[in-house]
Amino acid sequence: MIHTTVRSLASRLVFLLAPVLLAQSGPMPPPPLMLFVREEVKPGHGSAHAATESAWTRAMVKAKATDHYLGMTALTGSSEALFIMGYATYADWEAKQNELDSNPAAKKEIDKIAREDGDHITGTRTWLGSWRKDLSFGAPVEIGKMRYMRTRTFRIKQGQNKAFEEGVKTALAAYEKSKYPASFAFYEIVAGTGSPTFVVLRPMKTLGEMDAMDMADKAFREVLGDEGQKAMAKVFGESVNVVENQLFAFSPKLSFPGPQTIASDPAFWTVKAE
């Protein structure tokens, strides 16, 4: 599952969430810090990769680890798996990384699984993001009931952060006025890739939610008006280098969900032993 570096840190270790942020079931705000891990899975190795991930999860359960994560498989683009791990603070992240230090047996088992997992992937990318509440939209969601995640990655031109953020805030006002039927969380990437970079997560219960987006986008454009649309296109055209859109499906076999996430839908998140 996880980037070799992250795993080694966790043994000394991607929409979701650390137990401290899930003291109760139900909708919860996004975690202040999010670790994104993307693995490039070899073609034809999807099932084998899922099997090693399930073994990883069993080892974490056996070790009574608390560094929970949710895994997803790509529905679009290249063959990838995305893992997301939420943390309350940097200190919380550090504590979760170090929690297996006192369990040599668990560390040995997880290192073995990590080597086996390496046979099924060609590369990894690990990013650390900080939640931007001021750029996010919509009510909190109950992540355990979500089945899909749309990610949108913005790579911003140097020196254009302020212009981009002002453009987003203009869009947020129009989303609010048009009663846009979605929730999304904005994360500013603080480590792991070139900056400035933002990742926007939009969790969904069904892909059918995207069918209603044409009407929602129409209402959004009507609120902006012709001049507003032109102004927004100009702002984003001048401030954004690249936008990448991707769709993922949550996978219980690739996940180590916290108890509250499981409680949201036990039938989905509980993986039967093979």
Determine the structural domain holding residue 39 and report its residue range. 4-130+250-269
Mean pLDDT along residues 134-147: 96
- The reported pTM is 0.86
Residues 254, 121: one domain? yes
Domain for residue 225, yes or no?
yes
Of residues 187 and 17, more confidently modeled: 187
- The whole-number pLDDT of residue 21 equals 37
Question: What CATH number did the domain enclosing 179 receive?
Answer: 3.30.70.100
**Per-residue pLDDT reduced to its tens digit, 27-84:** 999 999 999 999 998 888 888 888 888 888 888 888 888 999 999 999 999 899 999 9
Q: Quote the CA–CA distance of 40 and 44 in Å, as a whole number.
A: 12
Distance (Å) of CA 132 to CA 4, 54, 198: 28, 32, 9
Confidence bin at 169 (pLDDT 50/70/90): very high
Domain for residue 163, yes or no?
yes
Nearest-CA neighbor of 35 among 82, 101, 80, 100?
Answer: 82
Residues 254, 236: one domain? no
Residues 254, 124: one domain? yes
Res 10 pLDDT > 90 = no
Res 11 pLDDT > 50 = no
Domain for residue 274, yes or no?
no
- The whole-number pLDDT of residue 221 equals 92
Residues 12, 109: one domain? yes
Average pLDDT, the chain: 87
Residues 124, 255: one domain? yes
